[in-house]
Amino acid sequence: MSDIPLVLPAFVCIPLVAAFLLPIFGSFGRKGRAAATALANLATISLLVMSIASINQFSVYNVGKWSIPLGINMVLDGLTGLFLITVNLVSSAAMLFSVRYMEQYTAKPKYLSLFMLMVAGMNGVVLTGDLFNLFVFLEIASIASYALVGFGCEDEQLEASFKYMVLGEVGSMFVLLAIGLVYGVTGALNMAYISKAVQNNSANVVLNFALALFIAGFGLKAALVPFHSWLPDAHSSAPAPISAMLSGVLIKVLGVYALVRTIFSIFGISSTVGNLLVVLGVVNMIAGAFLAIGQGDLKRLLAYSSISQVGYVFLGIGLGGTLLAAKTDSVWASLAILGGLFHLLNHAVSKSLLFLTSGSVEMSTGTRQLNQLGGLAEKLPLTRAACAIASASIVGIPPFGGFWSKLILVIAAIGAGVYWAAALIVAVSVCTLIMYLKVHRYVFLGELPESQRQIKENRGSMAVAMICLACLCVLIGLVFLVPSLRAEVLEPAAKVLSDGVRYADKIIEISKDMLVCAD
Amino acid sequence: MKGMTVIVKTISSWVKVLIFLFGINIVLFGHLTPGGGFAGGVILASSYVLLMLAFGREFAEKNLSLTAASRLDCVGALMFAAVALVGLFYGAASFFWNFIHQQYLADKATEFKLVSAGIIPLCNIAIGLKVGASLFLVILLLSAYRINVSTNKKE
Amino acid sequence: MLYALCFLLFVIGLYCAVVKKNMVKIVVGLAVMEYAVNLFLIMLGYRTNGTAPIVDRTYYDFSTHQVTDVFLNSAVDPLPQALVLTSIVIGLGCLALMISICIRTYEKYGTFDITQIRKLKG
């Protein structure tokens, strides 16, 4: 597996070409639309195969054979490999689900083409090695997602899309201003060169201001607590596969990955920033859990639960960062980072499965309000099983994946001596258990209302997508338990973060071996 | 949207050709003078917008229909992708490699001439086509709204 | 000094996007913010008494096929100009999407006032 020459631009090129071929197919009538759907599914599944082939590789690709700092390079390292698997897994499941689900909407080829643009943008964000290129791909993915949230053009969807769009654009403007400030001080846009220049003048006021702007801008994309108000509206009003994509991968790629890459590989972690990440993570966990319990709308409850789980990821990464910055106990530091990243993978798989099951419920019954649902256990058995597996995984019940990631986080917190963090993790897990018990009691148990005696189970591609993700929820614990899989998937990612600014040395070292100019 | 008076219609039917030609000039000479794909594409779209303002929306739509503009848009993007991908399969491959310049033109003295700089004029043409078609689509679609305020407001 | 004015323009745009109640005014505020950041990026590349970074025959030495040193010492930095070109295109796409959402929302709700467009609560 290690000597397949990987063409890294294919991850971005395949979805972009598909995005522009699909409207041409779609304008040819019914057969054209079926061909367009098949092409879109083929594209996402081939991306998934390519991203599995790229586990545990390290390669640098100079686009156009211009070596840095003249050109843009694409870098595949451990962190990128983990995120590529996450993004392409969830997107192929969501695309499979939307084959049947999007029949309720018109203009399906436009939906497919926007979906492909979003996937291309997310792949580009994780693969690029240049800071402005990251901004361009971030904008591509964001604008595609604004359009997708308001896709059905109902009242609520348009309102949610407008709110999401205004806040998302403010975040992007903060990021662009920060990139401008960094270019003004360092004179480079490539991440490796910026990292070198920042290490030389680290106490510069302008650079600290730029770091604060980066945290604000990317935090807005990741729904950190002062900036989270767009998330419940957007994630509950979007069509179900788009909610799965937004909550499962978009907030993590655009928010968590970009922030982590900027802080750890470019600026270098310091104890102030590490403590800030811990505080933000804790506030997210508590606020998300408490606000979710009182919700009456199924998808809004799941959206607030997303905010809470992203808090776990930030807690793990921030804890590891503080320990790294204090230069003691690096075993617990890398364990905490590993726990945070593994929890990110788990949450992506389980939360997207939960949103897909809620879409199945909504398509069968026509409503999302918890007090109008009930007793669906006999009518929708497959959906009920999938929902049970996914919520068990998120809460952290033993054989499923979420248990292992929360266990790693608790062990790392206790080992580092931060006992209140371990207690908090367990307490918020209990709150999470309460909210998912509420979901089950209202949706699946209880009395079946009169208006819903006629509904049937959803079959076809929706069932296939849900079964695949449910099996994955069960098996994903093995990624941690089987040592060879752990060493290939999770440990390179954690190593990238604990290496920190040595990323720049590696990249510059490799590019000195490549040709100087296009030849 | 209805058209305008006879004076405006006559003059604009002469001027739109000049604007279109100017747009093509900006696109083609993008590697020598300021401009390039995006700026030239905006000028190309504005010649169609002049047509729409002077003659009315239905006339402009008959001239370049929605499906035709959408297909031109996609063809422009696919042309750009094709130019980038040929660099991948040609010789000492790399994505987006300037293969025309490195293989054919690097030894000749081609500064300040129209045929120079490799794939850059081809990319400019593709982008100009795409931007012109999509801006025209955007303005055509935004002007198609007849706002019927729904009856259940202010609840 | 000029950078401070750019930041002032950015803050004015941010204030407009945060405080105003009419949807179209919020969109205008976002556009002003975007143009402020573009202006800041262009001003980063400026060099005192600089010239436009376009090579023509007076700045080019045909014998050695290189641009002259006079040009390299007097041209402003062209890299921020390329960044701003990309940013303008992104801003255009975003603006078109926002305006079309505003139009559709007016169709559904009958008003541009965001305090009355509040069906999603809690």
Task: Give per-residue pLDDT as tens, A447-479.
Answer: 776 666 666 666 667 777 777 787 877 777 777
Distance CA(A479)–CA(A66), nearest Å, equals 38
Cβ <8 Å between B150 and C57: no
At residue B149, does pLDDT exceed 70?
A: no
Q: How confident is residue B126, by pLDDT bands cut at 50, 70 and 90?
A: very high
At residue B127, does pLDDT exceed 50?
A: yes
Distance CA(C113)–CA(A478), nearest Å, equals 52
Stretch A61-74: mean pLDDT:
81
Distance CA(A204)–CA(A295), nearest Å, equals 46
Q: A270-301 as b/e, with b when 16 or more CB fall inside 10 Å?
A: beebbebbbebbbbbbbbbbebbeebebbbbb
Q: How confident is residue A519, by pLDDT bands cut at 50, 70 and 90?
A: very low
Nearest in space to A216 (alpha carbons), one of A182, A172, A160, A279: A172
Q: How confident is residue A518, by pLDDT bands cut at 50, 70 and 90?
A: very low
How far the first Cα of chain A sits from its last, in Å, is 29
Q: How close A233 comes to chain C (CA, Å)?
A: 7
At residue A354, does pLDDT exceed 70?
A: yes
CB C76 within 8 A of CB C52: yes
pLDDT at A3: 45
The answer to whether the predicted template modeling score (pTM) of the entire model surpasses 0.90 is yes
CB count, 10 Å around CB of A333?
27
Q: Which residues, at least 6 apart from A470, have a Cβ–Cβ distance to it below 8 Å? A: A353, A385, A386, A389, A390
Q: How confident is residue A205, by pLDDT bands cut at 50, 70 and 90?
A: confident
Stretch A156-177: mean pLDDT:
91
pLDDT at A379: 74
Alpha-carbon distances, residue B80 vs A314, A466, B70, B123, C84 (angstroms): 40, 37, 16, 6, 21
Rg of chain B over all Cα atoms, to the nearest angstrom: 20
At residue A404, does pLDDT exceed 50?
A: yes
Range of the domain at B74: 6-142
Nearest in space to A264 (alpha carbons), one of A222, A200, A309, A324: A324
Nearest in space to A354 (alpha carbons), one of A384, A311, A375, A312: A384
Q: How close B107 comes to chain A (CA, Å)?
A: 13
At residue B109, does pLDDT exceed 50?
A: yes
Cβ <8 Å between C102 and A170: no
At residue B92, does pLDDT exceed 60?
A: no
Cβ <8 Å between A64 and B94: yes
**Cross-chain CB nearest to A64 (options B73, B85, B97):** B97
Regarding the domain delimited by C2-46+56-116, which CATH topology (the fold level of the hierarchy) does it fall under? Helix Hairpins (1.10.287)
Torsional class of A66: left (φ above 0), alpha (ψ -120 to 50), beta (otherwise): beta
- ipTM entry: 0.94
Cβ <8 Å between C110 and B34: no
Region of poorest pLDDT, from A276-285, C1-10, C46-55:
C46-55
CB A401 within 8 A of CB A477: yes
- The β-bridge partners of A59 are A76
Q: How confident is residue B125, by pLDDT bands cut at 50, 70 and 90?
A: very high
Alpha-carbon distances, residue A244 vs A306, A444, A476, A508, C4 (angstroms): 11, 21, 18, 38, 42
Cβ <8 Å between C65 and B111: yes
Output A331 or C33, whichever has higher pLDDT. C33
For residue C27, the one-letter residue type is V
Which long-range contacts does A430-436 make (Cβ < 8 Å, 24+ apart)? A431/A289, A431/A290, A431/A293, A431/A308, A432/A289, A432/A305, A432/A308, A432/A394, A432/A395, A432/A396, A433/A395, A434/A293, A435/A289, A435/A292, A435/A293, A435/A301, A435/A305, A436/A391, A436/A394, A436/A395
At residue B153, does pLDDT exceed 50?
A: no
Region of poorest pLDDT, from A168-182, A302-316, A487-501:
A487-501
- The β-bridge partners of A61 are A74
CB A474 within 8 A of CB A386: no
Chain C contacts to A (CB-CB under 8 A): 10, 14, 17, 23, 26, 30, 33-34, 37, 40-41, 44, 79-80, 83, 86-87, 90, 93-94, 97-98, 101-102, 104-105, 108-109, 117-120, 122
Region of poorest pLDDT, from A234-238, A464-468, C2-6:
A464-468
**Is the CA virtual torsion A287, A292, A293, A295 positive or negative?**
positive
Output A319 or A504, whichever has higher pLDDT. A319
Stretch A267-295: mean pLDDT:
88
Q: How confident is residue A482, by pLDDT bands cut at 50, 70 and 90?
A: confident
CB count, 10 Å around CB of C46?
11
Stretch A298-305: mean pLDDT:
88
Alpha helices by DSSP H, listed for A396-517, are 401-416, 419-443, 461-475, 477-481, 483-499, 502-513
Distance CA(A198)–CA(A183), nearest Å, equals 11
Stretch C24-50: mean pLDDT:
91
Cβ <8 Å between C105 and A147: no
Per the structure block, which two tokens stand in for A466?
């849900």
**Which of the given ranges, A212-216, A433-437, A457-461, C42-46, has the highest pLDDT on average?**
A212-216
Cβ <8 Å between C119 and A150: no
Distance CA(A320)–CA(A326), nearest Å, equals 10
Q: How close B142 comes to chain C (CA, Å)?
A: 7
**Cross-chain CB nearest to B98 (options A27, A61, A518):** A518
Stretch B9-32: mean pLDDT:
91
Cβ <8 Å between C40 and A180: yes
Nearest in space to C94 (alpha carbons), one of B66, A136, B76: A136
User: What's the whole-number average pLDDT of chain A?
Assistant: 84
pLDDT at A2: 42
Helix axes A330-365, A381-395, angle to 10 degrees: 160
pLDDT at B155: 31
Stretch A230-248: mean pLDDT:
88
CB count, 10 Å around CB of A221?
27
pLDDT at A31: 81
In three-state form (DSSP H/G/I as H, E/B as E, the rest C), the secondary structure along A274-295 is HHHHHHHHHHHHHHHHHHHHCC
With CA atoms as reference, the chain C residue closest to A132 would be: C83
**Which of the given ranges, A87-91, A378-382, C106-110, has the highest pLDDT on average?**
A87-91
Cβ <8 Å between B95 and A13: yes
Q: How close A15 comes to chain B (CA, Å)?
A: 11
At residue A200, does pLDDT exceed 50?
A: yes
Nearest in space to A334 (alpha carbons), one of A251, A407, A277, A416: A416
Instruction: Please state, for a pLDDT cut of 90, what percent of chain A lies above it.
Output: 21
Q: How confident is residue A265, by pLDDT bands cut at 50, 70 and 90?
A: confident
Stretch A378-389: mean pLDDT:
82
Counting one residue from chain A and one from chain C, the pairs whose CB atoms sit within 8 A come to 87
User: Per-domain residue ranges for chain A?
Assistant: 284-481
Stretch B22-35: mean pLDDT:
89
Per the structure block, which two tokens stand in for A382?
């497959």
Distance CA(B148)–CA(B143), nearest Å, equals 14
Q: How confident is residue A226, by pLDDT bands cut at 50, 70 and 90?
A: confident
For residue A256, the one-letter residue type is V
C6-35, pLDDT tens digit by residue?
999 999 999 999 899 898 999 999 999 999
Output A108 or B2, whichever has higher pLDDT. A108
Instruction: Please state, for a pLDDT cut of 70, what percent of chain A lies above it.
Output: 94
- Chain B residues closer than 8 Å to C24 by CB: none
**Cross-chain CB nearest to B111 (options C54, C60, C109):** C60
pLDDT at A292: 86
Q: Determine which of B143, B153, B155 to mutate to test the interface with C (most C C-beta atoms within 10 Å).
A: B153
Output B90 or C49, whichever has higher pLDDT. C49
Nearest in space to A83 (alpha carbons), one of A22, A137, A31, A41: A137
Stretch A194-199: mean pLDDT:
87
CB A369 within 8 A of CB A297: yes
Cβ <8 Å between B74 and A21: yes
pLDDT at A50: 87
User: What's the whole-number average pLDDT of chain B?
Assistant: 82
Q: How confident is residue A38, by pLDDT bands cut at 50, 70 and 90?
A: confident
pLDDT at A177: 94
pLDDT at B129: 93
pLDDT at A451: 66
Stretch B53-60: mean pLDDT:
86
- The β-bridge partners of C51 are C75
CB A146 within 8 A of CB A165: yes
With CA atoms as reference, the chain A residue closest to B80 would be: A17
- Chain B residues closer than 8 Å to C103 by CB: 142, 145, 147
Q: How close B74 comes to chain A (CA, Å)?
A: 5
**Cross-chain CB nearest to C109 (options A143, A155, A183):** A155
Helix axes A502-513, A483-499, angle to 10 degrees: 100
CB A295 within 8 A of CB A472: no
Per the structure block, which two tokens stand in for C83?
């960044």
A408-428, pLDDT tens digit by residue?
899 988 888 888 888 999 999
For residue A455, the one-letter residue type is I
C61 SS3 class: strand
Domain annotation covers residue B1: no
pLDDT at B91: 61
Stretch A147-172: mean pLDDT:
88
Phi, psi of A449 (to 5 degrees): -65, 160
Cβ <8 Å between C120 and A237: yes
